[in-house]
Amino acid sequence: MRCERLQAAGEPAALAAELRALVPEPLSVREAVAEIIAEVRSHGDEALRDYIRRFDTGGAEPAPLRVAEHELEAAAAGLDQDVRAGLELAIHNVRRVAEAGLRPDATVQFDRHEVILRSSPVASAGVYVPGGRAPYPSTAVMGVVTARVAGVERVSVCAPPGRGGDLHPVVLGACWLVGADVVYRAGGAQGVAGLAFGTESVDRVDVIVGPGNLYVQEAKRQVFGEVGIDGFAGPSDLVVIADGDADPGPLALDLLAQAEHGPGTLVIGISDSDAVLTALEAMIENGPESDAVARLIEVRDLGDGLELAQALAPEHLQLAGPRAERLAPEITRAGCVFVGNASGTAFGDYVAGSNHVLPTGGAAKFASALSPWHFRRGFTEVRIEDGTALARAAAPVARAEGFELHAQSMEARIRDNGSR
């Protein structure tokens, strides 16, 4: 795998922008996706099956859109025992971490009124499980388990079938293990459109989450507003900050492993140690061929490395070596942070319990990993015992905004001499 080495110079934000620009902007698929969505919205199953023939099965007649329950059960029974054990551990760990992320309702008490912060789950959710380059049973775990912890009653999985017309058995088995209510053999923008608007065979959902190719993500963007989404999940990225005491062997494997995600993936190693960077360069250059973009960056000190990582706001950030690991409390912009030489990103992709559906492309500046809160709606409940003081304070503000009746509606609650 080709890997270039750079010296950090200038502003971290400028270097971060240069590094991001190494991954070319994808060709726009907006119009093509809009057409697909419109067709599925208008023609339902007929359009879905048309697109499945065109994009997934190579012209072969698609299998039924809904996977029968006995097919899921049979796939689970046929799983390799080691694979099943790994999936079951992932389910257990992801559930525990998701449960820890839920917050109870809270009440803010004032003198004569209170505001209650409440939340409730959406009624239904769709989890998109990619299937282009490889099957992703782990994504079924990340999405369905998290939705269940959030309290969603009906969780659907949507995934693209292969040339034979069916989903990979390991994906079907994982869907059975996590308890998906229904699984659809439909991928791409057409699958997202089916979940967003419903068809004769596909039930509409309230929220759609999960990674996928550019067509999938553009479709999520276009149906947002009709349904909720988790965000725009683009190509993957990993930044490793290592000091001179870090073991470069596992770190090189971490970078190469992330590069397995293919074109558009960005992997970056940062260190103030020439020896570590030289070792990483040799191992990466001798690694498998990849379309990913790899760069190694020498910084004067790890403080500069921290600033660059913060500017990049990576999907995954690893800190390896004692001095690098001490930076962890200062990290505020990353999808998930892995601390310590033993904490490879791949553990987060499968069994650590953290969610692998993460903000990409620098979106960690403002976005978060998939969590139960992507499936819950927050709202407030207001209970006012005596609105006198509030009305006297707010009515002038309402009138300043030109809303006389707002003012009057509040003043109607003013109590004369403390009683009404």
Q: Say what the pTM is.
A: 0.94
Domain range enclosing 150:
30-229
Residues 87, 224: one domain?
Answer: yes
Section 252-274 average pLDDT: 96
Structure tokens at 177: 């293990």
257 in the same domain as 140: no
Active-site residue identified among 39, 71, 298, 315: 315
With bands split at pLDDT 50, 70 and 90, how would you rate the model's confidence at 420?
A: very low
Check whether residue 145 and residue 209 sit in a common domain: yes
pLDDT at 132 over 80: no
The arithmetic mean of pLDDT across residues 213-238, rounded, is: 95
Of the candidates 168, 316, 356, 374, the residue annotated as catalytic is 316
pLDDT-based confidence at 407, cuts 50/70/90? very high
In this structure, are 175 and 50 located in the same domain?
Answer: yes
pLDDT digits (tens, 9 = 90+) for 133-162: 789 999 999 999 999 999 999 999 999 999
Alpha-carbon distance of 320 to 247, in angstroms, equals: 8
Q: Average pLDDT of 213-229?
A: 96
Buried (b) or exposed (e) across 44-79, using 16+ Cβ within 10 A?
A: beebbbbbbeebbbeeeebbebbbeeebbeebbeeb
Tokens representing 157?
């999985």
Whole-number Å distance between alpha carbons of 30 and 410: 47
419: pLDDT confidence band, cut at 50, 70 and 90? Answer: very low
315 is catalytic: yes
Same domain for 200 and 69: yes
Same-domain status, 200 and 283:
no
Do residue 70 and residue 202 come from a single domain?
A: yes
187, 211, 229: which is the final residue of a domain?
229
- The position carrying tokens 């969603």 is 152
pLDDT at 345: 97
Residues facing 184 on adjacent strands: 66, 158
Q: What H or E segment, with its residue span, contains residue 44?
A: helix 30-55
pLDDT for 76-120, tens place per residue? 999 999 999 999 999 999 999 999 999 899 999 999 999 999 999
Contacts of 163 (CB under 8 A, 6+ apart): 56, 57, 58, 60
316 is catalytic: yes
Summarize pLDDT for 160-200 with one digit per residue, the tens.
999 889 999 999 999 999 999 999 999 999 999 999 999 99
> Count of domains in the chain?
3
Q: What is the pLDDT of residues 339-364, one digit of tens each?
A: 999 999 999 999 999 999 999 999 99
CATH of the domain at 335: 3.40.50.1980
The HSE-up count of residue 238 (CA atoms within 13 Å, CB side) is: 27
